[in-house]
Amino acid sequence: MSMDLDSVSMAPAAQREVTNATILCCNCGAPIDGTVSAGALCYDCIKLTIDVSQGIQREGTLHQCRDCDRWLSPPNQWVVAQPESRELLALCLRKLRGLNKVRIIDASFIWTEPHSRRIKLKLTIQQEAFQGTILQQTFEVEFVQANQQCPDCQKSFTHNTWRAVVQVRQKVQHKRTFLYLEQLILKHGAHRDAINIKEIHDGIDFFFSARNHAEKFVDFLGSVVPMKSKKSQELISMNVHTSEKTYKFAFSCEIVPICKDDLVALPIKLAKQIGNLFPLALCYRVGTAVNLLDPNTLQTAEVATPIYWRAPFTPIADIPQLVEFIVMDIEITGLTKGRFVLADCTVARAADLGVNDTTYFCRTHLGALLNPGDSVMGYLLAGTQFNNTEFEEIENSKTYKSAIPDVVLVKKHYPRRKKAAGQKRNWKLKRMAKEESEMLPRKQDQERLERDFELFLRDVEEDEELRQTMQLYKAQQEANANDMEMETDDEDDEGPQIPMDQLLDEFEEMNMHDAE
């Protein structure tokens, strides 16, 4: 009897020692450390019963502008973010409510079909459930892509919302300069801030939503073409209480009316100032300045934009006035300068062959390209009357009158028997999206535009130096029948061909823009 009492008295003491060290989970009965655990639950039961992600948004909506592909970031900011990029991930996390109460351990995208318009995230978070007990949980969040037009794109589709316009003009009869300028703008992406582009008879208008965008575009124009600009402003509205004023700004940009391959008659005083150049010169390149060449001596000179506008001059002959000649005889003199080689040449008009025996002797800078029997384009000065004051001064000058040539050769001519405006090429140029005029162009104007574009494409094919300043793309190959027809045309076409290694793929350009 006494032993039973002792065993009973000893049992509570042993139980008290177990209680101080461990306790049993109230849910599953597993022994747990009572000094650490709170709530009398084991770690597994805490994970099953407590949700640390409670209160965190599991679904959301992302607004994207389908015109500019930008995303709406609260409260009212539009940001650029590529699919599955860090910028898009940060935007998604900012959209979720309740994340500020937990610690984010990991966040990643879950692949979804592009056409599903769903963006899924996999999040891993940590939170302290009880004192000394930290829980980690992984869950998924799904966003739905919704379309919403940004304010900038809304302005581009609304009339009279621009704040600045850049009016680019050139007083010439063709569009060759604007075609070249268009390629430079596309290459450097200078038109990205423009909300509208409108082509008119003698130039192009670029509309912007802010003045600084227009000023940036004017600076770009000044870095690629010789031009002068003038700024004007118009008051739209004014708040008499706060004195806040709203203006519209107009930038008038006039490009020098001289193009490549134009024949110019310089003022004699200006010709002496730029290196005593012969006043009758050929324009062989137009960059930030006008580059002139004397075909008789290969002497070159550069007329800067400020110098030109102090003493402006116009060409006495341009591309439409070129005449085709046939090389009868040519002799290299040995003088070279860069890609120019001086030669004595005897030519005859192609229209005179079989009619008369009239030939012309001249010096040319095309000695490296011409051979007897080749066709060459040039200006016929003998017997031609020019209504130009500077040219009359040259004719009346005792110093320069005897040096005026009968013919000035400009470039080699490649016969294109089957070449037409719609002829297939293995390359193409991109064009800017311009607003179409309400009135369709007349038939003769449309033909003139197509002719100017065809002449520009031929210049690109023939001038390698010109090609290096723009981006050319591979043309998409069509059916085999069209390919066979194109190969036949190439065999009949004696014009130069552009190597395929100089052409870009369109997806390569997209990758380059993404990298930028």
Q: Which domain holds residue 206?
A: 158-255
Last-in-domain residue among 151, 181, 208: 151
Say if residues 61 and 146 touch (Cβ distance below 8 Å).
yes
Q: What would you report as the CA-atom Rg of the chain, rounded to the nearest whole angstrom? A: 38
pTM for the structure as a whole: 0.68
Give the per-residue pLDDT at 7: 34
pLDDT of residue 216: 95
- Rounded CA separation 472/217 (Å): 23
Residue 513 located in a structural domain: no
Are 343 and 400 in the same domain? yes
Domain boundary among 151, 166, 198: 151
Mark whether 281 and 407 lie in a shared domain: yes
Residues 126 and 64 in one domain: yes
What does the pLDDT read at residue 436? 62
User: Tokens 């003038």 sit at which residue?
Assistant: 230
Q: For residues 196 and 217, give the distance between their C-alpha atoms in angstroms, rounded to a whole number.
A: 13
Find residue 379's DSSP bridge partners.
408
In a domain, 242, yes or no: yes
Considering the domain architecture, whether residues 282 and 401 belong to the same structural domain is answered as yes
- Boundary (domain end) residue, out of 367, 390, 412: 412
Q: Say if CB 497 and CB 472 are below 8 A apart.
A: no
Shared domain check, 242 and 276: no
Q: 2 in a domain, yes or no?
A: no
- 224 falls within a domain: yes
Q: Is the dihedral of CA 492, 495, 499, 504 positive or negative?
A: negative
For 280, 292, 336, 363, the CA distances from 297, given in Å and listed in that order, are: 12, 12, 10, 8
**70 and 25 within one domain:** no
- Separation between Cα atoms, residue 335 and residue 415, nearest integer Å: 29
The separation between CA 446 and the C-alpha centre of its own chain, rounded to angstroms, equals 26
Contact 228, 188 (CB under 8 A): no
Q: Are residues 77 and 132 in the same domain?
A: yes
My answer on whether 45 and 61 are in the same domain is: no
SS3 65: coil
Residue 34's nearest CA partner among 49, 16, 47, 55 is 16
**What's residue 18's pLDDT?**
43
**C-alpha–C-alpha distance, residues 85 and 493, integer Å:** 49
pLDDT at 165: 93
DSSP string covering 448-513, please? HHHHHHHHHHHHHHH-HHHHTTS--EEPPP--HHHHHHHHHHHHHB-S----GGG-B-HHHHHHHH
Task: Please give the pLDDT value at position 33.
Answer: 67
384 shares a domain with 273: yes
Is 97 strand, coil or helix? coil
* 39 and 65 belong to one structural domain: no
Q: Where do we find the tokens 């002799």?
A: 331
Closest C-alpha to 294, from 252, 253, 342: 342
What is the tally of structural domains in the chain? 4
User: Nearest-CA neighbor of 251 among 235, 229, 228?
Assistant: 229
Structure tokens that stand for 338 in this block: 């860069």
> pLDDT of the chain along its 516 residues, tens only?
333 333 333 344 444 444 455 777 777 767 776 655 556 767 777 777 777 777 788 888 999 998 888 999 877 888 888 888 888 998 988 888 888 888 888 889 999 888 888 999 998 988 877 666 777 888 899 999 999 988 877 776 666 678 899 999 998 888 888 889 999 999 998 988 888 888 887 889 999 988 999 999 999 999 999 999 999 999 888 888 888 888 899 999 999 999 999 999 999 999 999 999 999 999 999 988 999 999 999 999 999 999 999 989 989 998 889 999 999 999 999 899 988 999 999 999 999 888 888 999 999 999 998 999 999 999 999 888 888 899 999 999 888 888 899 999 999 988 764 444 445 778 888 888 777 655 556 666 778 888 888 888 888 888 888 888 888 888 875 434 444 444 444 444 556 777 777 777 765 554 444 444
CA 428-434-436 angle, to 5 degrees, is 120
> Is 350 a member of any domain?
yes
Say whether both 203 and 268 belong to one domain: no
Structural domain includes residue 63: yes
> Do the domain assignments include residue 59?
yes
Residues 274, 396 within the same domain: yes
CA dist 180 and 221 (Å) reads: 12
| Burial track 465-474 (b if 16+ CB lie within 10 A, e otherwise) | ebbeeebbee
Domain membership flag for residue 480: no
For position 423, what pLDDT does the model report?
55
A 10 A CB-CB count for 315 gives: 20
Distance CA 431, CA 191 (A): 12
Question: What pLDDT score does 38 carry?
Answer: 54
Q: Where are the alpha helices (DSSP H) in 225-345?
A: 268-273, 305-310
Determine if the peptide bond prior to 75 is cis (ω within 30°): yes
